[in-house]
């Protein structure tokens, strides 16, 4: 049985790389909804509709467990999908919680009451839709008290990253960090709340300075998924005909164009097929 990874575009490939390295015996299917990217500027109802369609496509590929490797989808769609009820034997996970567990120094799955934590001033960089959802603040409130979060919507950054425009991406990072620092001059920690942003993490670190702890998601999500599969091994067991340790890449966009952009971004060959 394969594990599905869904993203609006190419940012989720940062998560794919991390989970494939952490779980070399598991088969993955990655689906990028490149035809409809970016999600970060879409209204919530559009994000929900597109995310649900992507998850159902991965279910059709035999992925009973799907990870939304996209913060915007996790923020705008996950809670609604879970509350509406999932088909029997299906699970959908998001990427927010592992990040917040790391920030609040909790072990995986710790559901104890919220408590005081060492970091009090947190900068959140995310897409406009993720910021508008306030999903990060909502999940954080379940686990910590007294944390001041200043959120910066990073308009245009996902587009620049997907287009491979490094100069524009770095310029936008500098502008967004400067805008946030005008409101929160001395953040203690920064959350890169989009799976695209690890691709420009050095630019964030440079703009933020050496005294800000930067939390990025890919490795944290990989550890959380490994823990989940330890507790639910039925979702990571390869069935007849499956090949452990491989990833199939699917896209709703043009496979040749998406393959080229993915290869350029990650600097290794990646071949997408039509979804």
Domain ranges of the chain: 3-94+218-274, 98-215
Listed in order, strand segments (DSSP E) in 63-110 are 65-68, 91-93
Q: What pLDDT does residue 241 have? A: 44
**Can 63 be counted among the known catalytic residues?**
no
* Intrachain domains 3-94+218-274 and 98-215 with the same fold: yes
Q: In this structure, what is the dihedral angle of CA atoms 148, 134, 65, 24, given to the nearest 10 degrees?
A: -40
Could you please state the CATH topology (level 3) that the domain comprising 98-215 is classified under. Rossmann fold (3.40.50)
Q: Of the residues 194, 212, 218, 229, which is catalytic?
A: 194
Q: How confident is the model at residue 233, as a pLDDT?
A: 86
What is the rounded distance in angstroms from the CA atom of residue 215 to the CA atom of residue 43?
Answer: 27
pLDDT tens string, the chain, 275 residues long: the values are 899 999 999 999 999 999 999 999 899 999 999 999 999 999 999 999 999 999 999 999 999 999 999 999 999 999 999 999 999 999 999 998 888 888 888 876 677 888 899 899 999 999 999 999 999 999 898 889 989 999 999 999 999 999 999 999 999 999 999 999 999 999 999 999 999 999 999 999 999 999 999 998 899 999 999 999 999 988 865 544 445 678 999 999 999 999 999 999 999 999 999 99
DSSP helix/strand/coil, 36: helix
Structure tokens at 112: 């104890």
β-pairing, 65-68 with 213-215? unpaired
- How much is the pLDDT for 173? 98
Annotated active-site residue in 63, 70, 78, 177: 70
What's the CATH code, domain 3-94+218-274?
A: 3.40.50.1860
Q: What was the pLDDT predicted at 239?
A: 44
Burial tier of 2 (Cβ tally within 10 Å: 0-12, 13-18, 19+): buried
């Amino acid at each position: 049985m394969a594990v599905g990874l869904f993203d609006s575009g190419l940012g989720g490939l940062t998560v794919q790389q991390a989970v494939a390295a952490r779980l070399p015996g598991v088969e993955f299917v990655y689906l990028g909804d490149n035809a409809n990217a970016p999600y970060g500027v879409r209204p919530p109802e559009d994000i929900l509709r597109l995310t649900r369609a992507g998850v159902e496509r991965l279910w059709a590929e035999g992925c009973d467990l799907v990870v939304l490797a996209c913060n915007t989808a996790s923020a705008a769609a996950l809670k609604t999908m879970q509350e509406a009820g999932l088909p029997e034997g299906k699970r959908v996970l998001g990427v927010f919680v592992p990040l917040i567990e790391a920030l609040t120094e909790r072990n995986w799955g710790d559901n104890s009451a919220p408590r005081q934590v060492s970091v009090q001033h947190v900068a959140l960089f995310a897409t406009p839709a993720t910021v508008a959802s306030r999903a990060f603040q909502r999940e954080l409130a379940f686990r910590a008290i007294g944390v001041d979060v200043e959120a910066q919507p990073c308009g245009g950054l996902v587009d620049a990253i997907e287009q491979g425009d490094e100069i524009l991406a770095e310029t936008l990072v500098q502008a967004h960090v400067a805008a946030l620092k005008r409101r929160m001059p001395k953040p203690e920690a920064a959350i890169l709340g989009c799976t695209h942003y690890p691709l420009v993490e050095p630019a964030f670190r440079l703009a933020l300075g050496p005294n800000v702890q930067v939390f990025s998601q890919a490795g944290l999500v990989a550890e959380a998924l490994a823990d989940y599969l330890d507790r639910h091994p039925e979702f990571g067991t390869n069935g007849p005909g499956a090949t452990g340790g491989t990833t199939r890449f699917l896209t709703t966009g043009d496979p040749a164009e998406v393959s080229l952009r993915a290869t350029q971004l990650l600097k290794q060959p990646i071949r997408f097929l039509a979804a």
